[in-house]
Amino acid sequence: MIRALMIDVDGVVIRGRPKDGRPWSSRLADDLGLDAEELQREFFRPHWDAVVTGKSTLHDRLAPVLARIASGLSCEDLIAYWFENDARIDRRLLQEIDALRAQGLRACLATNQEHARAAYLMDRLGLAKHFDGIYYSADLGHQKPDAAFFQKVEKAVGIPGECLLLIDDSSANIDAARRMGWKASCWTGEDRLAELVAI
């Protein structure tokens, strides 16, 4: 019997830019003068693993990169642009989560995030009103699909894996959760949560 939902953020609760659902960096060059591929190459590929697992902060890794590739752009301005443009919330999904929580089911976020965006999601975007908590990689020190991520979440939530249902859009994460004994379902955006819980 499912006792708690573990919901991924990006690709599930959050789906791109608020106005059109496209990736947050789609107009990065036009809006801020920074090439998205260069940002991937110089920041995300070499530094993101350390940031998203809490070994370093977003600001500490991003600031020196920007000083080198976009000296006129502050770290704070880029982060604000990123967070604001990666914030299209699936309101129908939240309504379903609210309904299931009203019936006594717990719902938490289980996501790969660094500290600043995790706080932004819960506080600024208001997801704290719809979830019983958030378990995220920078806080746990491990990211999906690492087995340690699921072990730490399971221990923290205090519910055995066979009673947890992961909703995620990554097949690698789904497979990893199932190997840990969790229930898991790959999110397409077309499903109904109540039906997935009943499976």
- What does the pLDDT look like over 109-161, one tens digit per residue? 999 999 999 999 999 999 999 999 999 999 999 999 999 999 999 999 999 99
Statement to judge: residues 11 and 52 lie in one domain:
no
Domain end call among 65, 84, 103:
84
Measured in degrees and rounded to the nearest 5, phi and psi for residue 13 equal -75, -40
Statement to judge: residues 185 and 164 lie in one domain:
yes
Statement to judge: residues 106 and 39 lie in one domain:
no
User: What is the reported pLDDT for 103?
Assistant: 96
Beta strand spans in the chain (E)? 4-7, 106-111, 134-136, 164-168, 183-186
pLDDT range class, residue 75, cuts 50, 70, 90: very high
Q: Is residue 177 part of a domain?
A: yes
Give the total number of structural domains in the chain.
Answer: 2
User: What is the reported pLDDT for 198?
Assistant: 87
Domain end call among 84, 103, 119:
84
Question: Could you tell me the CATH number of the domain that includes residue 163?
Answer: 3.40.50.1000
Q: Using one digit for the tens of pLDDT, what is the confidence trace for 11-62?
A: 999 999 999 999 999 999 999 999 999 999 999 999 999 999 999 999 999 9
Compute CA distances 98 → 55, 102, 151, whole Å: 34, 6, 26
User: What is the reported pLDDT for 115?
Assistant: 98
Among the listed residues 34, 185, 58, 33, the one whose alpha carbon sits nearest the alpha carbon of residue 118: 58
User: What is the reported pLDDT for 17?
Assistant: 97
Statement to judge: residues 142 and 65 lie in one domain:
no
Contacts of 181 (CB under 8 A, 6+ apart): 160, 161, 162
- Domain enclosing residue 61, as ranges: 28-84
For residue 70, pLDDT beyond 80:
yes
Q: Is residue 22 part of a domain?
A: no
Determine the 3-state secondary structure of 6 from DSSP: strand
User: What is the reported pLDDT for 61?
Assistant: 98
Strands 4-7 and 183-186: unpaired
For residue 43, what is the enclosing H or E element? none
